[in-house]
Structure 1
Amino acid sequence: MQTPTTQHRVVGVLLAAGQGSRYGMPKVLAHRGAWLRSAVAALRGGGCSRVIVVLGAADTAVPDGAEAVYAPDWREGVGASLRAGLAAASGDPDADYAAVHLVDLPDVHADAVARVIAAAAATESGLARAFYGAGPGHPVVLARGHWAAVSRTATGDLGALPYLREHPGLVRRVDCDDLATGVDRDTR
Structure 2
Amino acid sequence: MIVKPSQFGVNADELSVRSLIYFIIELDKLLKYIGKRLLSSGETIAIAESVTSGFLQFSFSQMKDASQFYKGGMTAYTLEEKVNLLDVNQEQALNCNSVSAGIAETMALNVSRLYNSDWSIAVTGYASPVEESNGKLYCYFAISYRGEKILSEKLDLHSRTKSVNAQLYYSEFILGCFKIELDKQQESRAS
Range of TM-score over shorter length:
0.3 to 0.5
TM-score by length of 1: 0.36
User: Which one scores higher on RCO, CA 8 angstroms, separation ≥ 6?
Assistant: 1
More helix by share: 2
Max Rg structure: 2
